[in-house]
Structure 1
Amino acid sequence: MTLLPCARHFWLLVALFVLSSPARALDLRLTSGDWRPINIFVEKFAGEETLAGQPLSGVIHDDLSHTGLFRSYSRTVSSYGGVDTARLVDVRNRGGEYLLTGQVRKDGAAELLFFELHDALTEKSLGAFSINFDAQTQRTAAHQVGNWVFESITRKPGIFHTKVAYVRRAADGSNALRVADYDGHNAQTILTSDNNIISPTWTPDGNELLYVSFERRKPVVYRQSLLNGERRVVANFRGSNSAPAMSPDGRRIAAALTEHGGLQQIYLLGGNSKQQMRPELESGIINTEPTFSPDGKRIAFTSDEGGSPQIYEYSLDSGLTRRLTFGGREAVSPDYDSAGARMVYVQRQKGANNIALLDLSSGNTVVLTDIQQAAAPTFSPNDVMVLFNDEKKRGSLSIVSVNGKVLSGWGVKETGKIINPVWGPIKSKWY
């Protein structure tokens, strides 16, 4: 699907604006405090009521609302083709800065969506385009429009088309490795097993997944293609093999092994080589949960070297290690942002597990959630949101904006428990 410029339409479809605040299955929570969001009015698209499923305008509304950068208002009528100065003045008087309008029309067997974004402050159109879709690509088309709106206003890349991987654990103990849209829709199963599956992670190109399966009666790391389903073992050493992570250049894999019968230590695997990351360590210390920095020069990991689990960072150039986290009783599950400048992790304090955001240059930490049982945080590819699982909520995942102002849940719910989410890259070839 490609966005195509379309001609301006000048007939008046609807003359009435109705403002309503967002309230659907999005489960949106806005926090109080100093917050200056971008106010955008997303109108109902004319003709979208003929489509099955969630309205296109509703998908876009939810996309923008998740980010914490927008306060999106849905409107129950459409003015596509009839937006004039008076209309934009009215939007501006209601506190709106932008107005998105649209119309759905038949195009043979397919559908065609026309849409236009207006700046209510300058009273100018920022672009009018069309996109075609069918029943299978309806949500994808809406996400692409959401991407365009997001990018046009923020100048940041849109990620509403991206995928997440996770494990669904059923009540009978069976496991399924799943991939879905970032908001939980269009889920598909990659692998099912009667044994545990844990720790999925993406290869840098987004075309393969690494994960740990217990089908050989112990943890073994596998690599599986999403292009052709090919699957192979990448770490099956003596003892436990877990917590895989791939370097940005795709040449090395870091994994936590217990090869010598001891506690977990991190090894770097590449080609036929295997090298322990910190061979000088005394016995009795656990190192696990490695993750590479975006430049491939650092590895963040969890270690109990200081007496309790905390996040450390190892330099592959110098071989030196520094401790990153100090607040909270424990800190686990680190994930870098795309610039390697910030990190999210789980902070354990006073019996509660919450998502924390660490600035690596200043050392400042902000706790983003207050939900008690957060786990497995993962940055969106544009660093605007963090996906994680709230262990109190079975069958869905949660998203918190990096400014901590918006906490929302998936609009869909699966049977069983969802664990170990990981957000995929912006581009890949398999979808």
Structure 2
Amino acid sequence: MRWMKQLLVSLTTSLLLAGGAHADMVVEVVGVGSQQYPIAIAPFQNEAGLKQPVTPVISNDLTLSGLFKVIGAGDVSPVPFSPAEINAAALLQRGAQTMLVGRTEMQGNELVIRFWLIDLASKKELISFEKRGSPALARRMAHQIADMIYEKITGKKGAFASRIAYVLKTAPNRYELQVADADGYGAQSVLSSKLPIMSPKWSPDGGRLAYVSFETQKPAVYVHELATGKRWAAANFKGSNSAPAWSPDGRQLAVVLTKDGGSHVYLVDLDGSNLRRLTTTGDINTEPAFGPDGRIYFTSDRGGSPQIYRMNRDGSGVERVTFGGAYNAGAKFSPDGKTMTYISREGGYRVAIMELATRQSMTLTDSGLDDSPTFAPNGQMILYETGARGSLAVVSVDGRVKQRLKAQNGDVRQPAWGPMLP
């Protein structure tokens, strides 16, 4: 069973991925929303002199969302850099409803980006804003501008200024934990090992990753500070240590251990102290996740087939959550706490979601070999692994927008979508 992999922490390559180190991923839109919003974007003044021009990043973000049709305005003469310079009539004829214009300049060592989003019909300023920062952060600022546009037009927060983590196999005996921007750009290796690395999970503040490493010839759970590179074993007990999940306050981990026979869910402090066993029933209890109601959700075979259960943080009050079908596993939650995503076996292993208030569920994917779903920080998209060889894919929570993320020289696995960057 696929869901048992986090318990058994298999050495098989089907759980990992092959590809080139430090290679950015290519994102391809394979399904779009039923209606795309047309927006014109003109190159910002002076951005050609930047190491990272701003508008290509913004255009790419909005296009990849599947909800926007970007209309290039670089051929407009003259190219507008402010609201007063916009030829609204010409752009309305091209089908645009709004237009983004702006300018960049260096003030000392600081990059200043001034931009406007204009409704072309009314000529009303929908956004008028200025961002300042280091030129090295130009890409991040561009993602933040795209998030502002996304929220203004859709009414929902964007998630472009966030990061993803995933596992990469770069050679037969070389594994890497990598972090990249949400658009697949800027992939960086956090950890390399000759032995497998698995199950990365972001801390609530986005500054740390918890993961499973085999570097001591057995699976142990590590915590890794991204800014400093400092790392330590948070769970390295007898037997298997796997499936870490962060508590909402970032002070504890829920982990799965086999130290007492079977697999059971435990709570442990980040320094490996104060270990408490929570589950007592069933041979297999795994994939813990902290739910929005303060309880811990987990996958268990105690009812005869893999299903999702929840319990209080002291292990009491266990109750079953999923009932439809013979296989439901790997719960994760939307940031607003209203929706749960998981893997359901319906003609294959597929990504599903459930509204917690109504218990209504919907299957979002149809590839049949999906795993490890994880919500975007705005709750509108779900990132997951798919395929026998392994790549990443993204699907919107309504199932209409779909993307593929592919490493240029290989495959990726076991993604985790992190929180928004400040």
Equivalent residue number for residue 57 of structure 1: 55
**Candidates 320, 339, 364, aligned match of 2:317:** 320
- Counterpart Cα distance in 2 of 1:195 and 1:82: 54
The 2-side partners of 1:116 and 1:145 are apart by 10
| Matches of 2:311 and 2:89, distance apart in 1 | 55
Counterpart of 2:393? 398
Specify the code of the residue in structure 2 equivalent to 1:333.
G
Residue 425, structure 1, aligned to residue 422, structure 2: no
The corresponding residue for 2:5 is: none
- Write the distance in 2 (CA, Å) between the matches of 1:385 and 1:195: 32
In structure 2, what residue type is equivalent to 1:241?
Answer: N
Question: SS in structure 2 opposite 1:301?
Answer: strand
Counterpart of 1:247? 247
Confirm or deny that 1:383 pairs with 2:384.
no
Residue 211 of structure 1 aligns with which residue?
211
Residue of structure 2 equivalent to 1:291: 289
Structure 1 residues 286 and 116 mapped into 2: Cα distance closer, same or farther (>3 Å)?
same
Amino acid of the residue matched to residue 304 of structure 1?
A: D
Which amino acid counterpart does residue 377 of structure 1 have in structure 2?
A: P
Is 1:179–2:179 an aligned residue pair?
yes
Aligned partners of 1:329 and 1:111: how far apart in 2?
Answer: 55
In the superposition, relative to structure 1, how do residues 82 and 252 fare at CA in structure 2: closer, same or farther (>3 Å)?
closer
What is the rounded CA distance, in whole Å, between the counterparts of 1:328 and 1:41 in structure 2? Answer: 46
| SS at 1:28 equivalent | strand
In structure 2, relative to structure 1, the CA distance for the partners of 1:87 and 1:388 (3 Å cut) is: same
RCO greater where, 1 or 2, for CA within 8 Å and sep 6 or more? 2
Partner Cα distance (1:222, 1:86) in 2: 54
- Unaligned regions of 5+ residues in structure 1, if any? 1-24
Per the alignment, in what secondary structure is the counterpart of residue 146 of structure 2?
A: helix
Aligned to 1:342: 339
Whole-Å Cα distance in 1 between the matches of residues 166 and 374 of structure 2?
A: 11
- 1:224 aligned to 2:224? yes
Mapped partners of 2:51, 2:350: distance in 1: 37
Q: Is 1:28–2:26 an aligned residue pair?
A: no
Q: Which residue of 1 aligns with 2:306?
A: 309
**Do the aligned residues in 1 keep the contact of 2:377 with 2:420 (CA within 8 Å)?**
yes
Per-residue deviation at 1:228? Answer: 1.5
Cα drift, residue 206 of structure 1: 1.5
Q: CA deviation at 1:229?
A: 1.5
Task: Please tell me whether the aligned partners of residues 42 and 72 of structure 1 are also in contact (alpha carbons under 8 angstroms).
Answer: no
Deviation at 1:140, TM superposition (A): 1.8
In the alignment of these two chains, the number of paired residues is 393
Q: Which amino acid aligns with 2:354?
A: L
User: Contact 2:279/2:315 (CA < 8 Å) preserved in 1?
Assistant: no
1:91 Cα deviation after fit: 4.4
Cα displacement string for residues 115-171 of structure 1 (whole angstroms, at most 9, x for unaligned residues): 220123532012334446776433223212112222333454433221221111123
Query: Structure 1 length as normaliser, TM-score?
Result: 0.81
User: Is residue 278–residue 315 contact of structure 2 (8 Å, CA) maintained in 1?
Assistant: no
SS of the residue corresponding to residue 419 of structure 2 reads: coil
Per-residue deviation, 1:397: 2.7
- Aligned residue in 1 for 2:88: 88
Q: Which amino acid aligns with 2:213?
A: S
> For the Cα contact (< 8 Å) 2:38–2:71, is it kept in 1?
no
SS at match of 1:158: coil
Q: Is this contact kept in 2: 1:170–1:415, CA < 8 A?
A: no
Aligned pair 1:126/2:141, yes or no? no
Question: Which residue of the partner structure matches residue 7 of structure 1?
Answer: none
Which amino acid counterpart does residue 353 of structure 1 have in structure 2?
Y
Give 1:218 deviation, angstroms: 1.0
**Structure 2 unpaired stretches of 5+:** 1-25
Supply the AA of the counterpart residue of 2:244: P
- Range that drifts further, 91-100 or 217-226: 91-100
- Please tell me whether residue 360 in structure 1 is matched to residue 360 in structure 2: no
What residue in structure 1 maps to residue 279 of structure 2? Answer: 278
Provide closer, same or farther for how the CA distance between residues 222 and 175 of structure 1 changes in structure 2, counting only shifts above 3 A: same
Query: 2:173 aligns to what SS in structure 1?
Result: coil
Q: CA 1:423–1:241 in structure 2 vs 1: closer, same or farther (change >3 Å)? A: same
Quickly say closer, same or farther: Cα 1:354–1:48, change in 2 above 3 A.
farther
CA distance in 2, matches of 1:315, 1:113: 48
After superposition, give the CA deviation of every residue in 1:184-218 in whole Å (9 maximum; x if it has no partner).
21121111110111011122222111111111111
Classify 1:138/1:85 alpha carbon distance in 2 versus 1 (closer, same or farther; 3 Å). Answer: closer
Change beyond 3 A, Cα 1:215–1:303:
same
Question: Once the two structures are superposed, what CA deviation does each residue of 1:268-323 show, in whole Å capped at 9, x if it has no partner?
Answer: 223732222222x14xx31101011245x111212222322222222337822232
**Cα distance change, pair 43–371 in 1 and its aligned pair in 2 (3 A):** farther
Counterpart residue type for residue 215 of structure 1: E
1:196-207, aligned counterparts within 5 Å? 196-207=196-207
Distance in 1 of aligned mates of 2:401 and 2:367:
13
Query: Distance between the aligned counterparts of 2:228 and 2:32, measured in 1?
Result: 44
In structure 2, relative to structure 1, the CA distance for the partners of 1:109 and 1:228 (3 Å cut) is closer
